[in-house]
Amino acid sequence: SRHHRIAAIPGDGIGKEVMPEALRTLEAAQRRFGFRLDVTPIAWASCDYHAQHGQMMPDDWKAQLQGQDAILFGAVGWPATVPDHVSLWGSLLKFRREFDQYINLRPVRLFEGVPCPLAGRKAGDIDYVVVRENTEGEYTNLGGVMYPGTEREIVIQETVMSRFGADRVLRYAYELARSRPRRHLTVATKSNGIAISMPWWDGRADAVGADFPEVTVDKQHIDILSARFVMQPGRFDVVVASNLFGDILSDLGPATTGTIGLAPSANLNPERRFPSLFEPVHGSAPDIYGRNIANPVAMVWSAALMLDFLGEREAHDAIVRAIEQVLREGPHTPDLGGQATTTSLGEALAQRVAG
């Protein structure tokens, strides 16, 4: 069907500023391409629901969202009033886990017209996808502080990786690599220093890779891999990483393409047993909130990824083309050295999508 139910959760800070621009673009896309979105706005964040109820979401949040086809998410986090681990574990990280969104797809691309912080790179030179494991790994709440308040205080926090969890994200990454022209996969590792989980992870990459002889693979330790994101970004096609390594790479990569304000993400439950969630890579940016200067492209591109996942391929393509044109022609928001506002960029994008 071409009728999709969407929950829109703007969240905190600039989430509230960029979400309206995504909705504006989606309006234009619906008019042009003839599908229908049923959008339910939901105010579950630090500065609204938490301020009133002392928790990020109602207890029945899962039942309220289960019938949605997708969730469009801005960002949460307002550390001035709610500690970050409370707001994130009460919201975004819950969605990823309980809706089993085990793939976090984070494309990185250098656009024409965008000043690149790396010398001598032009559009097309940086074009890869980070596939981040999104439900386990370094993000656990297993552990604790022992002998608190004493000089012998100890803190332990476990990393958990399962064969089931590793294999499914590795398989997804191999399949994605196989579908792209270069058919290359980089496996982020740290099997020299993290001597239990990471050699095991490399072994799972080999085992799953046996089904993908067409895909060339290189394993790189996360330290030098990070350096190569800066020095040799053209080496990368698909990069698969554990939860924390993927988190770090997916801010670093976009930084090399001008700004994290461009970077989108898709938190996918590929089997569609649960709604998938689409959000910018960036956070709520309290430092710029309220000035109408946040770059809305990451949010708008995330909305396009959502449409692609919902089967609206043409609308996705039109939004990506609009982003290309608007970035090429300018003006840009301040994160790219310009003076444009969030609203004016959003309007320019929606106008292009309207055709």
Q: Which does 261 bind (CB under 5 to 8 A by kind): Mn ion, ligand NAD, ligand IPM, none?
A: ligand NAD
Burial per residue of 284-304, b for 16 or more beta-carbon CB atoms within 10 angstroms, e otherwise: bbeebbeeebbbbbbbbbbbb
Contact present, 319 and 25 (Cβ < 8 Å):
yes
Task: Work out whether 352 is an interface residue with ligand NAD (CB under 6 A).
Answer: no
Q: Show the tokens assigned to 201.
A: 């992870």
Binding positions for ligand NAD, 243-272, rule CB under 6 A: 260-261
Using CB under 5 A as the binding rule, whether residue 138 contacts Mn ion is answered as no
The residue with its CB nearest to ligand IPM is 88
Q: Which does 288 bind (CB under 5 to 8 A by kind): Mn ion, ligand IPM, ligand NAD, none?
A: ligand NAD
Tell me if 51 sits within 8 A of 313, measured CB to CB.
Answer: no
Of 111, 110, 89, the closest CA to residue 98 belongs to 89
Q: Which stretch binds ligand NAD (CB under 6 A): 110-118, 186-194, 205-213, 286-294?
A: 286-294
Q: Where are the beta strands (DSSP E) in 269-354?
A: 276-280
Q: For Mn ion, what does the binding mask look like between residues 203 and 242, x meaning CB under 5 A? A: ----------------------------------------
Residues 296, 318: contact at Cβ < 8 Å? no
List beta partners, residue 109.
127
In angstroms, the CA 173 to CA 191 distance is 19
Binding to ligand NAD, residues 321-340 (CB under 6 A): 335
Q: Does 277 bind ligand NAD (CB under 6 A)?
A: no
Separation of alpha carbons 139 and 174, rounded Å: 23
Site for ligand NAD contains 50 (CB under 6 A) = no
If one asks whether residue 26 binds ligand NAD (CB under 6 A), the answer comes out as: no
Question: Any idea what the Cα angle at residue 66 is, between residues 61 and 70, rounded to 5°?
Answer: 105
Residue 285 touches which member of Mn ion, ligand IPM, ligand NAD, none, C-beta under 5-8 Å by kind = ligand NAD
For residue 133, the minimal CB distance to ligand NAD (Å) is 16
Stretch that binds Mn ion, among 101-109, 243-251, 303-311, 333-341 (CB under 5 A): 243-251
295 binds, among ligand IPM, Mn ion, ligand NAD, none (CB under 5 to 8 A by kind): ligand NAD
Nearest approach, Cβ of residue 228 and ligand NAD (Å): 23
Three-point CA angle 210, 211, 214, nearest 5°: 95
Should residue 130 be labelled a site residue for ligand NAD when binding is judged by CB under 6 A?
Answer: no
Residue 247 as a binder of Mn ion (CB under 5 A): the answer is yes
Q: How far apart are CA 251 and CA 44, in angstroms?
A: 25
Residue 126: strand, helix, or coil: coil
Q: What is the enclosing helix (H) or strand (E) of 28?
A: helix 15-33
Q: DSSP string covering 260-305, please?
A: GGG-EEEEE-TT-SS-EEEEESS---TTTTTSS-S--HHHHHHHHH
Count of positions (residues) in the chain? 355
Q: 86 or 93: whose CB is closer to ligand IPM?
A: 93
Residues of this chain that bind ligand IPM (CB under 6 A): 88, 93, 247, 281, 283
Q: Closest distance between Mn ion and the C-beta of residue 282, in Å?
A: 8
Tokens 């969605």 correspond to 95
Instruction: Based on the shown chain and the rule CB under 5 A, indicate whether residue 279 belongs to the binding site for Mn ion.
Output: no
Q: Which residues bind Mn ion (CB under 5 A)?
A: 247
* Contact residues: ligand NAD, CB under 6 A: 14, 75-77, 79, 84, 88, 92, 260-261, 279, 282-288, 294-295, 298, 335
